Amino acid sequence: MMRVSANAEKKFLQQVFKKNGFTEENGALLADTLVDADLRGISSHGIQRLAWYERMIADGTIKPTNQVKVLKESLTSLLIDANGNMGQLASAFAMKNLIKKAKANQVAMAVIRNSNHFGTAGYYSRLAAKAGLIGISTTNTRPLVVPTNAIEAFLGSNAFAFTFPAEPHPFVFDGATSSVSSGKIAVLAKNQRPIPGEWAVDRNRQVIHDSAQAFKILSEAAFTEHQSGGGVLTLGGNQETNSNYKGFGNSLVIELLTGILAQGSISADTSKGKHDFSQFFMVIDPAFFGDVEVLKAKATRMFNRIRKLAHLPGTKIMIPGDREYRNYDQNLKQGVVIDPRTQEEMAEIAKKFQLELPEVL
C-alpha cells in the first residue's frame, strides 16, 4: 500500500493518456475522473482501472482518437454517439450540454450509444450539483446480475447516481443498482476475505461467501459468452419474500433508459460482439419550483434531522455523499491510496512509455 499526491497521480495519468493518443483536453478529463474517484475513496474506479483501460485500447475496444458525435438535438434532448471512445468523454460532453439546456428549459436528457466504461456515475451528476441543479446519471454494464428466481446472470450492475444541492456538500447517491458492484467482490477476492452478506449466488441460487468462487463466476458471466450459472443478487437479496423483485425492477428501469433507448446492446449482450455500453443522463433545474437557496436549506435541514435520529449504539447514520466528501478532504491532504497490484501495473505502464512514476509520499 502506498500513497501519492492527487496532483502527482493526475500528472502521471495525463502523460499516459497522451501516449495513448488522446488529445491534451481529453486526457486531462480522463485523469480528473480517475483521480476524483481515488480521492473519494472509490478506488475500484480509480487508477486501478488504468491497466484495464490500456488493454481495451490495445484490443481496439476503446478508440482514443475518435470524436464524440451529436446525432440528434432539441431544446431539451440529445442523442449522442460516443464513437467507441472512452465513456467519460461523451458523458462529460453530454452533461455540460444538459446543464445549459436545463437552465433554459428546466429539464433536459441525453442518451449515449456506442460507449465504453464511464468511471463513476456520480462524477457527471456532481457536475449538475456544482451548477445548482439536480443531476441523474446511469449506465448499463457487463452482465453480472441474476433476476429474481433466475440462476444465470443477465442484468448489468447498472449504476445510478442522483445529486441534489445541499450544505455542506450535495446529496450524492451513487452506486450499482444491484446488491453490490462486482468491484466490491473483486476487492475481497484480491484480499482473500469472505463475503459478509447476501451479495452473490451460485448456479443453485445458494448464497456464496467464498469471494474467490464468486469472482470466478462473475468473470465468466461478464467477460465470456458462456455462463455456468450464478451471479450478483438484485437489491433485496436472495429471497422473493424480501422483495428482491424491487431491485430487479430498478435494474430493468436502467436497462430501458440505456441499452434500449440507445438501441445499443443490453447488458446481457455486452459480453459479446461490439462490447458497447449505453448511458442516460438528466438534469433538472429546481429553480423552476422555488428559490434554490430555500430548497437547499430545506434539504439540508432534512438531512441534519436524519443524521440525528435515534440509532443503534455503535452505529452512525450517514447521508449519501457524507463518506465520499470526508474521504475527499482527507485524501487531498494525505494523498490517495494505491494498492500493491496497481503499483506493479503502473510500473509496467511507466516502463512501456518511458515515464516517471508519481513520487511515493
Looking at the Cβ atoms of 83 and 106, the one nearer to its own copies is 106
Phi and psi angles of residue 211, each rounded to the nearest 5 degrees, phi first:
-65, -30
Long-range contacts formed by 298-307: CB under 8 A, 24+ apart: 299/164, 299/165, 299/166, 299/171, 300/166, 300/167, 303/166, 303/171
Strands of 159-164's sheet in order across = 69-73, 77-81, 107-115, 277-284, 134-139, 159-164, 171-176
Looking at the Cβ atoms of 30 and 161, the one nearer to its own copies is 161
Shortest distance (Å) from residue 256 CB to its own copies: 5
Looking at the Cβ atoms of 2 and 150, the one nearer to its own copies is 150
Cα dist. 186→43, 182, 212, 214 in Å? Answer: 12, 6, 8, 9
Q: Are strands 231-233 and 134-139 parallel, antiparallel or unpaired?
A: unpaired
Looking at the Cβ atoms of 76 and 343, the one nearer to its own copies is 76
Q: What is the enclosing helix (H) or strand (E) of 3?
A: strand 2-4
Looking at the Cβ atoms of 20 and 114, the one nearer to its own copies is 114
Q: By the 8 A CB rule, do 118 and 278 touch?
A: no
Shortest distance (Å) from residue 61 CB to its own copies: 23
Shortest distance (Å) from residue 301 CB to its own copies: 9
Looking at the Cβ atoms of 26 and 114, the one nearer to its own copies is 114
Looking at the Cβ atoms of 43 and 179, the one nearer to its own copies is 179
Instruction: Specify the length of the chain in residues.
Output: 361
Task: Please tell me the distance from the alpha carbon of residue 41 to that of residue 329, in angstroms, as a whole number.
Answer: 10
Task: Please tell me the distance from the alpha carbon of residue 73 to that of residue 69, in angstroms, as a whole number.
Answer: 11
DSSP 66: P
Q: Which three cell numbers stand for residue 197?
A: 452478506
Shortest distance (Å) from residue 221 CB to its own copies: 12
Shortest distance (Å) from residue 36 CB to its own copies: 20
Looking at the Cβ atoms of 318 and 360, the one nearer to its own copies is 318
Q: Are strands 231-233 and 143-146 parallel, antiparallel or unpaired?
A: parallel
Q: Which letter, b or e, does each residue of 234-270 get, where b requires 16 or more Cβ atoms within 10 Å of its Cβ? A: bbbbbeeeeebeebbbbbbebbebbbbbbebbbbbbb
Shortest distance (Å) from residue 350 CB to its own copies: 37
Phi and psi angles of residue 139, each rounded to the nearest 5 degrees, phi first:
-150, 150
Shortest distance (Å) from residue 80 CB to its own copies: 11
Looking at the Cβ atoms of 11 and 322, the one nearer to its own copies is 322
Looking at the Cβ atoms of 308 and 333, the one nearer to its own copies is 308
Other CB atoms closer than 10 Å to residue 343's CB: what's the count?
A: 16
Angle at CA of residue 103, ends 117 and 138, nearest 5°: 20
Shortest distance (Å) from residue 49 CB to its own copies: 22
Shortest distance (Å) from residue 178 CB to its own copies: 9
Shortest distance (Å) from residue 83 CB to its own copies: 17
